[in-house]
Structure 1
Amino acid sequence: MGDALQRKGLHGVGLSEILAAADTPKGGLYHHFPGGKTELAVAAIEQQVAELCALLDKLLPTASDPVAALELWTARAQQLLAASGFQRGCPLATVALESEVDDIAIRKALADGFAAIRERLAQAFQASGKIANAAGLAALIVAAYEGALLQARVAGSVAPMELVSATLFPLLRTQLQGNAHD
Structure 2
Amino acid sequence: MKKTSTRDKLIYAMADALQRKGLHGVGLNELLEVAGAPKGSLYHHFPGGKSALAVAAIEHISQHIDSLFERLFAQQADPLQAMHHWLQGALQQLENSQFERGCPLATIALESGPDDVEIRAALQRSFNAVRQALSRQLQAHGHSDEQADNLAALFVALYEGGLLQARVAGSSEPLKRAAAALFNLTRTPLAQGARS
The TM-score, its normalising length taken from structure 2, stands at 0.88
TM-superposed CA distance for 1:172, in Å, is 2.0
Q: 1:118 and 2:131 equivalent?
A: yes
Q: 1:135 and 2:154 equivalent?
A: no
> Where does residue 165 of structure 1 map in the other structure?
179
Percent identical pairs in the alignment equals 54
Q: Deviations over 1:30-73 (max 9, x none)?
A: 11111110111111111111111111111012211210100100
* Map 1:10-21 → 2, pairs under 5 A: 10-21=23-34
Q: Deviations over 1:97-141 (max 9, x none)?
A: 000111111111111111111001111222222344221221111
> Where does residue 89 of structure 1 map in the other structure?
102
Matched residue count:
182
Contact 2:70–2:137 (Cα < 8 Å) also in 1: no
Letter in 1 for 2:180: A
Distance 1:52 1:181, change over 3 A: closer
Q: Which runs of 4+ in 1 moved over 3 A?
A: none
Q: 1:106 aligns with which of 114, 119, 131?
A: 119
Task: Look up the SS of the partner of 1:176 in the other structure.
Answer: helix
> Where does residue 8 of structure 2 map in the other structure?
none
Letter in 1 for 2:188: T
The TM-score, its normalising length taken from structure 1, stands at 0.95
Higher mean alpha-carbon deviation, 88-97 vs 15-24, is at 15-24
Q: Which structure has more RCO (C-alpha within 8 Å, separation ≥ 6)? A: 1
* Map 1:3-152 → 2, pairs under 5 A: 3-131=16-144, 132-152=146-166
Task: Look up the SS of the partner of 2:101 in the other structure.
Answer: coil
Uncovered stretches (5+) of structure 1, i.e. residues with no partner: none
Higher mean alpha-carbon deviation, 148-157 vs 44-53, is at 44-53
| Structure 1 CA distance for aligned equivalents of residues 100 and 158 of structure 2 | 19
Task: Look up the SS of the partner of 1:26 in the other structure.
Answer: coil
Task: Look up the SS of the partner of 1:133 in the other structure.
Answer: helix
Letter in 2 for 1:15: L
Contact 2:69–2:133 (Cα < 8 Å) also in 1: yes
Uncovered stretches (5+) of structure 2, i.e. residues with no partner: 1-13
Contact 2:69–2:137 (Cα < 8 Å) also in 1: no
Letter in 2 for 1:55: L
- RMSD (Å), alpha carbons: 1.3
Letter in 2 for 1:78: L
Distance 1:159 1:26, change over 3 A: same
